[in-house]
A and B are shown apart, each in its own frame.
Chain A
Amino acid sequence: DAMVIQNPRYQVTQFGKPVTLSCSQTLNHNVMYWYQQKSSQAPKLLFHYYDKDFNNEADTPDNFQSRRPNTSFCFLDIRSPGLGDAAMYLCATSRPPEETQYFGPGTRLLVL
């Protein structure tokens, strides 16, 4: 089945220790998104790629970076995680002109 896969599902890191979360998709979708979701809050868009074009949200901290080496993979790098970065990180994809976004299972990040 075509799907969006995220690894790892759970990640524990130390304060200030860089961490990388990965997302892959077999849907062949052009657009890949990274969201941060904290408990009882709306998913917050961090950035998205349309093919190779990177689009950063204005309020996304510089601590968050992303890479998309090819159509299938996208990575979220958190350079120096703080306690406030503990959250669920969601990867989603879409294929314009369709607007529906399909989510991966998420990675729950814990910062100690």
Chain B
Amino acid sequence: QKEVEQNSGPLSVPEGAIASLNCTYSDRGSQSFFWYRQYSGKSPELIMFIYSNGDKEDGRFTAQLNKASQYVSLLIRDSQPSDSATYLCAVNEGNDYKLSFGAGTTVTVRA
């Protein structure tokens, strides 16, 4: 599996603030990028995916992709205590339907 790097955190933000999560990947040929949220003791759940350079917004979440820099980020606006979780970045390796996951960034939203 290819390398996917994330800041481990924890990232602590006050309620209502913006949480910014970063992810870098090693395989320049990667085409698809995913963000999953994982609550403690639970399984990952998909937040959003992005395929093209630029920004993609879904509610309070914005994914940003820069393939030239091999960088994908996730912004969480108006952070809520319920956003406290570990966020996993995942990158598709190519054409074999496998994802490489980062170890995740743990976010804590302070009320």
- List residues of chain A with CB under 8 Å of any chain B CB: 31, 33, 40-43, 45, 48, 50, 55, 57, 88, 90, 94, 96, 99-106, 108
In the complex, chain A residues whose CB is within 8 Å of the CB of B42:
105-106
Complex contact B97–A48 (CB within 8 A): yes
Complex contact B45–A43 (CB within 8 A): no
Complex contact A90–B44 (CB within 8 A): yes
Specify the chain A residue showing the minimal Cβ separation from B90. A101
Please name 9 pairs of A and B residues whose Cβ atoms are closer than 8 Å in the assembled complex, sorted by A: A42-B101, A42-B103, A43-B88, A43-B101, A90-B43, A96-B97, A99-B49, A103-B44, A103-B45
What CA separation (Å) do A48 and B99 show in the bound complex? 11
- List residues of chain B with CB under 8 Å of any chain A CB: 1, 4, 8, 32, 34, 36, 41-46, 49, 88, 90, 92, 96-99, 101-104
B63 to chain A, nearest CB (A): 13
Complex contact B97–A94 (CB within 8 A): yes
Complex contact B4–A50 (CB within 8 A): no
Specify the chain A residue showing the minimal Cβ separation from B1. A45
Complex contact A99–B99 (CB within 8 A): yes
In the complex, chain A residues whose CB is within 8 Å of the CB of B8:
40
In the complex, chain A residues whose CB is within 8 Å of the CB of B41:
108
In the complex, chain B residues whose CB is within 8 Å of the CB of A40:
8, 103-104
In the complex, chain A residues whose CB is within 8 Å of the CB of B98:
33, 45, 48
In the complex, chain B residues whose CB is within 8 Å of the CB of A57:
1
Complex contact A99–B32 (CB within 8 A): yes
A11 to chain B, nearest CB (A): 15
What CA separation (Å) do A104 and B103 show in the bound complex? 19
In the complex, chain B residues whose CB is within 8 Å of the CB of A94:
97
Complex contact B43–A106 (CB within 8 A): yes
Complex contact A50–B97 (CB within 8 A): yes
In the complex, chain B residues whose CB is within 8 Å of the CB of A90:
43-44
If A103-B36, A105-B43 are given as contacts, then 6 extra A-B residue pairs at C-beta distance below 8 Å, sorted by A number, are A33-B98, A43-B88, A48-B98, A50-B97, A99-B99, A105-B42
